Amino acid sequence: MFKNVFGSGFLVRTAHVILTWVITLILFLHDTDLRKQEESGQLVQPVLFVLLVLVSVLLYFAVSLMDPGFILSDDNDALQFTLGTTEEQQDMIPPTSKSLRQRRCGHCLLQQQPMRSKHCQTCQHCVRRYDHHCPWIENCVGERNHRWFVLYLAVQLLVLLWGLHMAWTGFSAAATWPSWLRSNGMLLAVAALVALLSLTVLLLLGSHLYLVSLNTTTWEFMSRHRISYLRHCGADENPFDRGTARNLWGFFCAAAGSAVVWEQVYFREGSDPV
């Protein structure tokens, strides 16, 4: 289920964890509400804040190390496939059944690539319901970890906004700007960094919730003009859209490990193939 912790993403993950706890420590060392409550014996808010930071770190590692839905290569016959066409533009290989079509991946020698899957050049695997490869977690976001990625973003945003509020409570007054910067410079740098990260995570969370409500992925949204099973659809047509409520329910509440056969959704009974 989990990849090697000491793989290519070890430095990124270590930097993320160190930065998280350094910022948390700075918030406790300065004269913020967290420190004031800790010194006065009111430990509820400081403990909750630390626990929430810990949860965000654990979710980060879970999403970062989780199998996003890798598809193992199944047959060396894929070597016979022509590699001159980009994967996105390959027509879905027509089998004997008219309603189910799969294509081959010329990169990892996967003979039958399920619909909505894509080969990740960084991970060197095809990923089910591929969304994107995230350098922040050094892992793909796909069918198995996408919902956990969204949950991580939500928790991380809550931690960042809470931390930004705590940083704001720690600024002290001074007679002159130079003296104010000397006493608040470190906290100001932390507040600026947390504000920037908050905006980034807010935009990421908003965009992912929007795409999930439409039952589309970042890859499909950005590259639909190149993807063989979408490029013939209209600009507002999404063959996987089952309505906002069902899209959200299927994304957040589907049984863990259950794989949707997207070919059956794409070729709905009674509808014309796109």
Residue 167, phi then psi, degrees to nearest 5: -65, -40
In this predicted model, which residue has the larger pLDDT, 266 or 195? 195
Residue 113 has a pLDDT of 83
Residue 118 has a pLDDT of 92
User: Checking DSSP bridges between strand 125-127 and strand 139-141, what pairing results, if any?
Assistant: unpaired
Q: Is 218 helix (H, G, I), strand (E, B) or coil?
A: helix
H or E segment and range at residue 198:
helix 177-214
Which residue is listed with tokens 């008219």? 98
Residue 114 has a pLDDT of 87
Calpha distance 194→107 (Å, rounded): 40
Calpha distance 60→136 (Å, rounded): 9
Instruction: At 27, list the tokens.
Output: 């918030």
pTM of the predicted model as reported, rounded to 2 decimal places = 0.84
Question: What digits encode the pLDDT tens for the residues 137-171?
Answer: 999 999 999 999 999 999 999 999 999 999 999 99
H or E segment and range at residue 132:
strand 132-134
Calpha distance 127→147 (Å, rounded): 15
Mean pLDDT of the region 260-274: 65
Please provide the average confidence, as pLDDT, over all residues in the chain. 84
Which member of 108, 120, 126, 134 is catalytic? 134
Question: What digits encode the pLDDT tens for the residues 85-105?
Answer: 455 545 544 444 444 456 778
Q: Is 134 a catalytic residue?
A: yes
* Among 210, 78, 112, CA closest to 153: 210
- Domains in the chain: boundaries: 10-68+135-214, 73-128
Residue 105 has a pLDDT of 80
Pair 33, 169: CB distance under 8 Å: yes
